[in-house]
Amino acid sequence: MQAVSDEQLIQWVADGDASCLGTLFERHQKGLYNYALQLTRNAAQSEDLVQELFLRLLKKASSFRGESSFKAWAYHILRNLTFDQLRKSQRQQTDSASETTLEQELVDLRSAEQSASGEQQIQVLMKALARLPIDQQDIIWLGRFEFPDYQSLAAATDCSPATARVRMHRALKALSSVFETLNEVPQNV
């Protein structure tokens, strides 16, 4: 349990004490960075997005109303920034060869120390996740790694809990299908 809550810290930022944002950065930077990395597949771009997020948080601290957790609010802003960035760079239009390379780079980046044969299934799962459309990667990543319940997942993804549940079900069904397909062909990882 944290001595001072995230919500109290952002309130102090809103009161003019920007240094409290440094503590929030230390608490959440890794999760935020990995989320952005999953969607952009680019380390430098992900760091730029996290930096931009904290600048936004600094400017918008006073607009935090506490209707959701600070974490859900921060991920919601980062999500919007990332999707804007992806739209601008039109990543979806890159050719499939480049896509495969990026996907492999992402898997390599995260699994450099997980090359034991017993962990091959994890790599296949990561690869399957990287092959899904961005919106499905988004809901799975947030739902599995960051937000334990549909209420907070909904707050982060700007929809109702029921919609979050439906999206999660659809995305996991798609993931399961890709995962099974990948498991049928020999892996060269």
CB of 48 to another protein, least distance (A): 9
Residues 64 and 129 sit within 8 Å (Cβ to Cβ): no
With contact defined as beta carbons under 8 Å apart, do 172 and 140 qualify?
Answer: yes
- Amino acid identity at 79: R
Nearby residues of 61 by Cβ (< 8 Å), 6 or more positions away: 10, 11, 13, 14, 21
Nearer to another protein, 91 or 152 (CB): 152
Of 83 and 120, nearer to another protein (C-beta) is 120
- CA dist., res. 189 & res. 86, Å (int): 27
Q: Minimum distance between the CB of residue 93 and another protein, rounded to whole angstroms? A: 25
Smaller CB distance to another protein: residue 44 or 97? 44
**CA nearest neighbour of 29 among 14, 47, 44:** 47
Q: Which residues bind another protein (CB under 8 A)?
A: 3-4, 12, 16-23, 25-26, 29-31, 33-34, 37, 43, 46-47, 50-51, 54-55, 58, 109-111, 113-114, 119, 121-122, 125-126, 143-145, 147-151, 153, 161, 165, 168-169, 172
* Residue (87 or 176) nearer to another protein, CB: 176
